[in-house]
Structure 1
Amino acid sequence: MEAIITVVGFLGAGKTTLLKSLINSYVAKGWNPFVILNDYENANMDAQQFMDQMSPQCIKPLSGSCICCSGIMELRNTVNNIPERKHGITLIEANGTSDACALMEFLGVGLDSRFLPPIQISVVDVEHWQQRGEHNELEANQIQVSSLLVLTHLDKVIDTRKREVISQLQHLNATAKIIPMDDLDVLLLPELMPSKNAVQQLDHIKAHWASCSVDLPNLPNATYIHTLCNALPKHLLRVKGCTVLGDDTNYTYFERTPSGEVHIRPFNGVPITGSKLLTIGPGSDPSALEQLITAMLLKD
């Protein structure tokens, strides 16, 4: 039977980093992973980042619908239509504001008998855990029915902070195994049991945020990316985009995490939607983004 592993966690916690590590490890050990990605605006952009690790036929992006509610039927149908493979394993990365408890409740119903009951991994950003203000409840919800809690950003905290966070996690989920990402043994994941924890229900509207995307012109250099990201309001908790810089013939990917850090790296291939700027968070508005881009370029 084939295991299904869902990866959840707050925006910027490190879900994609974990997923890439899982893919590399499973492929190296002779497994055949199938990956499903869910994002607000453009999961196709995220999907292309995995093309150097696995075949495009084994990656399915789901954009727009929230897989913890309105998109659950599409997710379930996608899983049931995954081709059978020797040593197959299915990995699902949920968007950063998914209602993780609802996702596990709905996903486990109506799956083909060749699949094991799904298990959930929650990625926990130790540095920023429960420092999200009004979004703390959503972040706490995302670990309640996880079988494994993977700790990230440990290099940025002292041991006292790590122990404090682990204590809070154990209070919210006493049955989950808690490990740093570096200690993850992928061969043990399919053997994890689904959580049977009772959960504290989340007001589901808290898992639905505004999002939008707009076309982004080519930019002269990386400085413009930093200028753009710094100009965007802080209540936009997730910013990412793809563009061409200067005379470069390749695309560049960038993102701003909820903590305000800006990361820039090469993009794998050519985005099927062209250059884009995407935002997630209250107040995401296409016209406001377009005005900001225009004002930035006019200052040049």
Structure 2
Amino acid sequence: MILYHFFKRAALSSLLTRGYVVEPIIVVVGFLGAGKTTLLKRLVTEYSQANWSPFVVLNDYENANLDAQQFLDMLDEKSLKALNGSCICCSGIGELRESVNRIPERANGITLIEANGTTDACALMGFLGVGIEARFMPPVQISVVDVKNWQLRDIHNELEANQIQVSSLITLSHTDSVSEERLGQVKEDIRAINPTAEIMLCEELEINTLPELLPSSNSAEKLAHHKSHWSSCSVDLPNLPDPICIKEICDAIPSSVIRIKGCTVLGTEPGYTYFERCPDGEVYVRPYRGKPTTGAKLLTVGPCSDALLLESAIHNSLEAAKLRQAK
């Protein structure tokens, strides 16, 4: 694979000298809740302001359109591609590769791919780099590492460590609430796994340096396939009477379900509300831009994801809301 990237770089240099335009591909990976979408939004904003033409590909187990729609105030719909239902590191790699090759040529183009939070990042880069048209540069991977929760994920630690092995750049998120000692320890851990990657805080990242990154030459340990693929589920979510219902729904879903996302209308509020429970148990609520094209949904990723479980959690929260209103 390293030789492939070397020869493709040489071929790209030849194309450049003959006046051809080549497009960088930046793949953003990281564990669930690490901050990939936050980083991606920043990249889209800053590249657009710098007269680049970003194209964004989003992958998720369930309803990637829910995330993609949040980019519609930054990008034209034709510059977005949502890949649902399969993981782009294995069963979805063919669809991903075809989607990239169909991206229209444009001046100052850059392709940004966000992988789902359980992606086998090493396998993804091994497969994606083969079969991409010559007008694209070899894909380069950026990992987002949540410093607060790094390697505190019990059985999921191996997957989290796997996701940084072949990254050219590792950005550190959630650093505002950790000690300098913790930050230093995480950096030391990362260097032991990937000694060739550049490490920086997310806020230190500068967009003009990313297209110049080279694919990682670091060797990767193979991850058992079943450790990076979990069950997922989604159900319709009715309007909820109040924000308490969100907490009750999230509390009713077991911790083995490592990611919860939802979008609904709260009470008499005019717009939609988006919420998520991250792997550390924190629940975040914020306004949702626009109206979800698939309707209001509750989505989960992780063992025990089950439609009956989700429907029961929703039903019980609505019944509890009735009792609150009756008092």
- Shared fold by TM > 0.5? yes
Q: Residues of 2 paired with 1:110 and 1:289: CA distance?
A: 40
Query: Hey, what does 1:235 align to over in structure 2?
Result: 256
What is the identity percentage for the equivalent residue pairs of Structure 1 and Structure 2?
60
The aligned amino acid for 1:157 is V
Q: Is residue 17 from structure 1 mapped to residue 53 from structure 2 by the alignment?
A: no
The aligned amino acid for 1:221 is D
Q: Is residue 195 from structure 1 mapped to residue 216 from structure 2 by the alignment?
A: yes
Choose from 131, 139, 142 the match for 2:163: 142
Query: Hey, what does 1:104 align to over in structure 2?
Result: 125
Choose from 63, 66, 81 the match for 1:45: 66
Q: Is residue 245 from structure 1 mapped to residue 266 from structure 2 by the alignment?
A: yes
Once the two structures are TM-superposed, the CA of residue 166 in structure 1 deviates from its matched residue by: 0.3
Choose from 154, 163, 170 the match for 1:133: 154
The aligned amino acid for 1:237 is I
Aligned length: 300
The aligned amino acid for 1:208 is H
Once the two structures are TM-superposed, the CA of residue 266 in structure 1 deviates from its matched residue by: 1.0
SS in 2 for 1:155: coil
The aligned amino acid for 2:111 is T
Q: Residues of 1 paired with 2:206 and 2:214: CA distance?
A: 15
Consecutive aligned runs of 4 or more in structure 1 exceeding 2 Å deviation: none
Q: Residues of 2 paired with 1:272 and 1:144: CA distance?
A: 36
Q: Residues of 1 paired with 2:182 and 2:132: CA distance?
A: 40
Q: Residues of 2 paired with 1:245 and 1:293: CA distance?
A: 13
Q: Residues of 1 paired with 2:233 and 2:313: CA distance?
A: 14
Q: Residues of 2 paired with 1:171 and 1:62: CA distance?
A: 33
SS in 2 for 1:154: coil
Once the two structures are TM-superposed, the CA of residue 279 in structure 1 deviates from its matched residue by: 0.5
Match runs of 1:213-228 below 5 Å: 213-228=234-249
Choose from 184, 207, 230 the match for 1:163: 184
Give the structure-1-normalised TM-score. Answer: 0.99
Q: Is residue 27 from structure 1 mapped to residue 52 from structure 2 by the alignment?
A: no
Once the two structures are TM-superposed, the CA of residue 249 in structure 1 deviates from its matched residue by: 2.6
Q: Residues of 1 paired with 2:39 and 2:303: CA distance?
A: 27
Once the two structures are TM-superposed, the CA of residue 232 in structure 1 deviates from its matched residue by: 1.5
Output one character per residue of 1:248-292: Cα deviation in whole Å (capped at 9) or x when no partner.
231111111111111111111111111110011100000111112
Query: Hey, what does 1:5 align to over in structure 2?
Result: 26
Q: Residues of 2 paired with 1:223 and 1:293: CA distance?
A: 12
Q: Residues of 2 paired with 1:260 and 1:288: CA distance?
A: 18
Stretches of structure 1 lacking an aligned partner (at least 5 in a row): none
Q: Is residue 56 from structure 1 mapped to residue 77 from structure 2 by the alignment?
A: yes
Once the two structures are TM-superposed, the CA of residue 172 in structure 1 deviates from its matched residue by: 0.3
The aligned amino acid for 2:83 is L
The aligned amino acid for 2:95 is E
Max radius of gyration: which structure?
2
The aligned amino acid for 2:127 is F
Query: Hey, what does 1:72 align to over in structure 2?
Result: 93
Once the two structures are TM-superposed, the CA of residue 141 in structure 1 deviates from its matched residue by: 0.3
Output one character per residue of 1:42-96: Cα deviation in whole Å (capped at 9) or x when no partner.
1000000111111111010000011000000000000000000100000000000
SS in 2 for 1:178: strand
The aligned amino acid for 2:219 is A
Q: Is residue 261 from structure 1 mapped to residue 282 from structure 2 by the alignment?
A: yes
The aligned amino acid for 1:9 is G
